[in-house]
Amino acid sequence: MQAITSMRLVFSEPTAQPTTAIRGRFVEVALPTPVDRVFDYVVPEPLANRARIGHRVHVNFANREVQGFVVGEKSESHLLRHQVKDILSAPDDEPLVNQSMLRLTRWMADYYACSWGEALQAVLPAVVRTGRKRRTITVVKLARSKEESLARAAELDPVEAQAPGSIPGIEKAAMPPEGKPDSRHKRYAKILRTLATFEDDFSPHHLAEKLGYSLAPFNTLRKQGWLKFEKLEVDQGAIGALSGSPERVPEALTPDQEVALAAIARSVDRDEFKAFLLFGITGSGKTEVYIRAIARALEHGKSAIVLVPEIALTPQTVRRFAQRFENVTFLHSSMTDGERRDAWTRIKSGQSRVVVGPRSALFAPVKDLGLIVVDEEHEHTYKQDSTPRYHARDTAMMRAKLEHAVVILGSATPALETWHNAQAGRYELLELRTRPTLRNSNLGLPDVEIIDMSRECHEQHAFTWFSRRMRGACAQALEDGDQVIIFLNRRGYHTLLTCEACGETVACPNCATHMNFHRQLNKAVCHYCLETRDFPQKCPSCERGPVKQMGMGTEKLEEELKGIFGGFKVARMDSDVMKTREDYESTLEAFRQGETQVLVGTQMIAKGLDFPNVTVVGVVSADVGMNLGDFRSFERAFQLITQVSGRAGRGEKPGRVIVQTFKPRHPAIVAAARQDFRAFAEWESEHRKLSQYPPYSRIVLVTVEAKEKPKGDELARQITNTARDFSRQFSGTIYDVSDPFEAPMARLRGRHRVQILIKAKGFREVRAVVDRIQPLVKVQEKLRVSIDVDALDMM
Ligand code: ADP
Ligand code: ZN
């Protein structure tokens, strides 16, 4: 136990200093409080064997019953006799977390600036924590008709109702004389309206999060008979039928694969911690190397964890692993609690030795961990965007270190941080340079063409979304009986609603972002908070001009393509239409079977899919997201284009990729078109180095969210000043503490957002400065602060 507590000074802080310690059987309990400390409790005799290290316990904390984990045992406490309380209960016969998981979570708390208790919460699937057995999920529904509900909403919050299609600004005029409706009433109205508008299966939790509410208004509405919570039976075989032809098992590896596998196998055989970067384009055979490395670990009686981005957990991936290994466990977010708990038990007992899943699968309690694979390691979904804000790739490194396991990071477009580590020799670089299925020239890479859209528009004498090349290539492919994928990273119909007179776009009243027009709903929708508006007759800003639909989203794209390629079937995949796993699977299956010929979609279709009949991939606009002021936006654009391009030419026929852009000479786009990662990395590194961004520094992004702007600004200023004062002690190794600046998403769900960016040399400096600012982080309803170490999402 010494090892754990000494990793950082964890203190059971005495509130008063007693002269002598009291003796007895005590445990230190980590609770999910924002403050990082442990608390002493007494172990009553009947619980002696159920409240040991790693056990879950229930205790009384601040007059509430709270669940925590025992992280230390001791025979004396510095608390006063009347202050120590007994543990209330201990539900499990066996510890839920072992020593190495305790150490890993302790590290997470240190590194990601959260409490040990919060880190422990994150590693356990919800159902194990609560121990309840459920085979259903809860969804929230209107208890009465849509009309009644909307009428009720109008009573509660008449403001919006009196001005259908109203937008901020106009609202004021429609304000009822009796003044503002109660904010609670507004919330009730909003919930009813949202449910009447989107006929979705929202879980109460998910909807509350979207709207920025607690669960309280849902419960009230339910008590009043306006909402009902329904249990939805979830299909047990959630992974779906494994249809399609079985995967051919390659007889021989390519020379590059041989070299890579040999290096990995050597480390697996030696039980040593070692990290590899397996760098190779899509289709170069990375997965085949993973599979054989896993087989090697299994031969030694060890287990393996494979992390994939959630969207890559497609039937294709599943089929591949299921076919090659017995007793693979697939974890995914749409599992029921019951399924998740069964899986956990199977894994813990050693019955299942291969686990495949997204981010949180990293914490699967496998027996004798030998290997962790992080596929598509550059994916941002590996970073959790709520506390603890851990990165699964980096946390995987730590877990592997603690358990003497091997890590393989795989990518065609490694994150610059990873590339840097490989260049510095911290990870061993293994490269797969060709596609094993190569039948055609150019290393089996598709032919990528960049289309200059400003020239295209000029030549066509009109603004256009489709170049002649793109149309021609698609038409040709379809006539030849091939398939086509068209990619656009933007949902909706016409994306923006823009005033013809003043040029303003219709903005969300709660968030600093524009609203998107969705034709199916016939409404403008905010993708962040689900605010909806009718199509405005007049510009809400100048109240003069007519509002016109501008831009192009996937919904509109689908419709246009249906018009252009009349005789062919077009399917769309984005999060608007893909509500469930079944939707996703059936759409893919229809495409695989050739029932649909054109697939249109967002990043959902950018990765992991392997369709041999696709010969043309079109990127409608490579520029989406390039101007967001995020220092990683070029990297993201590069990754996206490279990945999408990898969808073409995976079969016997050569592939063709058409990338449309208004920046045809931008280095990121040129490099992506050539699939030249090294050129991109070199160019991008220069810029990062000059401005001291990662990998040439570590960053901490502090975000202050406030209902009242001056309060937020004041706290942000205080944080900056504190960090700056402190940084003087670290002469030169805390590179920069920024002034508070408005977040790119300056308002979100009605809160003003200010950020501070800190750049420092290494972990030590980051930790030190975070320690200083953490005391300023108070948990208040009106003022929230988040500290994001190694931030990826800069919004
Ligand atoms: P990646 O994971 O890099 O995208 P995969 O491992 O999925 O690549 O391989 C792409 C395709 O090539 C798959 O259909 C796979 O079965 C096949 N393949 C992989 N290695 C070989 C090999 N050595 N010989 C023949 N085919 C192979
Ligand atoms: Zn919004």
Which amino acid, 476?
Answer: Q
Lowest mean pLDDT among 311-315, 316-320, 508-512: 311-315
- The model's pLDDT over 255-287, given as tens digits with 9 standing for 90+, comes to 999 999 999 999 999 999 999 999 998 778 999
Q: Taking Cα atoms as reference points, which of 266, 246, 371 lies closest to residue 320? A: 246
Helix axes 183-197, 146-156, angle to 10 degrees: 160
Are 574 and 491 in contact, with CB atoms under 8 Å apart? yes
Are 319 and 393 in contact, with CB atoms under 8 Å apart? no
* Residue 685 scores a pLDDT above 50: yes
User: How many Cβ atoms sit within 10 Å of the Cβ of residue 595?
Assistant: 11
For the residues of 245-274, what is the DSSP string, one character each?
Answer: PPPPPPSS--HHHHHHHHHHHHHHHHT--E
The two tokens of residue 73 are: 């045992």
Q: How confident is the model at residue 371 (pLDDT cuts 50, 70, 90)?
A: very high
The residue with greater pLDDT, 608 or 288, is 288
User: How many Cβ atoms sit within 10 Å of the Cβ of residue 460?
Assistant: 12
Q: How far is the CA of 92 from the centre of ligand 2 (A)?
A: 43
Lowest mean pLDDT among 316-325, 516-525, 674-683: 516-525
Q: How confident is the model at residue 356 (pLDDT cuts 50, 70, 90)?
A: very high
* Residue 435 scores a pLDDT above 50: yes
- The model's pLDDT over 111-160, given as tens digits with 9 standing for 90+, comes to 998 999 999 988 876 555 555 444 566 788 899 998 999 999 999 888 65
Helix ranges (DSSP H) in 254-335: 255-270, 286-299, 315-324
Calpha distance 16→19 (Å, rounded): 10
- The model's pLDDT over 85-99, given as tens digits with 9 standing for 90+, comes to 999 999 888 888 999
Calpha distance 308→310 (Å, rounded): 6
Lowest mean pLDDT among 42-56, 299-313, 552-566, 723-737: 552-566
Calpha distance 601→604 (Å, rounded): 7
DSSP state for residue 632 in the 8-state scheme: T
Calpha distance 523→543 (Å, rounded): 19
Q: How far is the CA of 335 from the centre of ligand 1 (A)?
A: 29
> What is the model's pLDDT at position 551?
67
> What is the model's pLDDT at position 327?
83
Q: What is the mean pLDDT of residues 305-330?
A: 82
Q: Which ligand ends up closest to the CA of 514? A: 2
> What is the model's pLDDT at position 128?
59
Burial class (CB in 10 A: 0-12, 13-18, 19+), 160: buried
Q: How far is the CA of 253 from the centre of ligand 1 (A)?
A: 9
Which protein residues are within 6 Å of ligand 1, measured from CB? 247, 250, 252-254, 257, 280, 282-288, 436-437
Q: How far is the CA of 260 from the centre of ligand 1 (A)?
A: 14
Q: What pairs with residue 498 in β-bridges? A: 505, 548
* Residue 248 scores a pLDDT above 80: no
Q: How far is the CA of 197 from the centre of ligand 2 (A)?
A: 15
Q: How confident is the model at residue 422 (pLDDT cuts 50, 70, 90)?
A: very high
Q: Which ligand ends up closest to the CA of 506? A: 2
Ligand 1 atom with least separation from CA of 247: 16
* Residue 6 scores a pLDDT above 50: no
Ligand 1 atom with least separation from CA of 432: 3
Q: How far is the CA of 738 from the centre of ligand 2 (A)?
A: 27
Q: How far is the CA of 119 from the centre of ligand 2 (A)?
A: 30
Q: How confident is the model at residue 445 (pLDDT cuts 50, 70, 90)?
A: low
Length of the chain: 795
Lowest mean pLDDT among 174-188, 277-291, 357-371, 694-708: 174-188
Q: Which ligand ends up closest to the CA of 284? A: 1
Q: How far is the CA of 387 from the centre of ligand 2 (A)?
A: 22
* Residue 579 scores a pLDDT above 80: no
Calpha distance 732→642 (Å, rounded): 38
Our mutation pick for probing the ligand 1 site, out of 437, 443, 650, 675, counting the most ligand atoms within 8 A of Cβ, is 437
* Residue 679 scores a pLDDT above 90: yes
Q: Which ligand ends up closest to the CA of 647? A: 1
Q: Taking Cα atoms as reference points, which of 325, 270, 263, 332 lies closest to residue 298? A: 325
Which H, E and C letters describe 658-696, residue by residue? EEEECCCCCHHHHHHHCCCHHHHHHHHHHHHHHCCCCCC
Q: Which ligand ends up closest to the CA of 516? A: 2
Ligand 1 atom with least separation from CA of 646: 4
Ligand 1 atom with least separation from CA of 291: 6
Q: What is the mean pLDDT of residues 662-669?
A: 86
Lowest mean pLDDT among 16-30, 285-299, 361-375: 16-30
- Per the prediction, the chain carries an average pLDDT of 82
> What is the model's pLDDT at position 165?
41
Q: Taking Cα atoms as reference points, which of 325, 315, 433 lies closest to residue 371? A: 325
For the residues of 588-621, what is the DSSP string, one character each?
Answer: HHHHHTTS--EEEESGGGSSS---TTEEEEEES-
Model-level pTM greater than 0.85? no
Q: Taking Cα atoms as reference points, which of 57, 174, 97, 208 lies closest to residue 540? A: 174
Our mutation pick for probing the ligand 1 site, out of 256, 261, 279, 287, counting the most ligand atoms within 8 A of Cβ, is 287
> What is the model's pLDDT at position 572?
83
Q: Which ligand ends up closest to the CA of 245? A: 1
> What is the model's pLDDT at position 446?
74
Give the closest residue (by CA) to ligand 1 atom 23.
253
Our mutation pick for probing the ligand 1 site, out of 256, 288, 439, counting the most ligand atoms within 8 A of Cβ, is 288
Give the closest residue (by CA) to ligand 1 atom 9.
285
Q: How far is the CA of 481 from the centre of ligand 1 (A)?
A: 24
Q: How far is the CA of 435 from the centre of ligand 1 (A)?
A: 7
Tell me if residue 482 falls in helix, strand or coil.
coil
Give the closest residue (by CA) to ligand 1 atom 15.
285
What percentage of residues in the chain have a pLDDT greater than 70?
83
> What is the model's pLDDT at position 281?
83
Tell me if residue 63 falls in helix, strand or coil.
coil
DSSP state for residue 207 in the 8-state scheme: H
> What is the model's pLDDT at position 52?
94
Q: What is the mean pLDDT of residues 550-558?
A: 75
Q: Which ligand ends up closest to the CA of 531? A: 2
Q: How confident is the model at residue 794 (pLDDT cuts 50, 70, 90)?
A: confident
* Residue 170 scores a pLDDT above 80: no
> What is the model's pLDDT at position 237?
37
Give the closest residue (by CA) to ligand 1 atom 10.
283
Give the closest residue (by CA) to ligand 1 atom 25.
250
Backbone dihedral angles phi then psi of residue 372, each to the nearest 5 degrees? -125, 125
Q: How far is the CA of 255 from the centre of ligand 1 (A)?
A: 13
* Residue 13 scores a pLDDT above 70: no
Q: How far is the CA of 485 from the centre of ligand 1 (A)?
A: 21
Give the closest residue (by CA) to ligand 1 atom 19.
285
Q: What is the mean pLDDT of residues 446-460?
A: 85
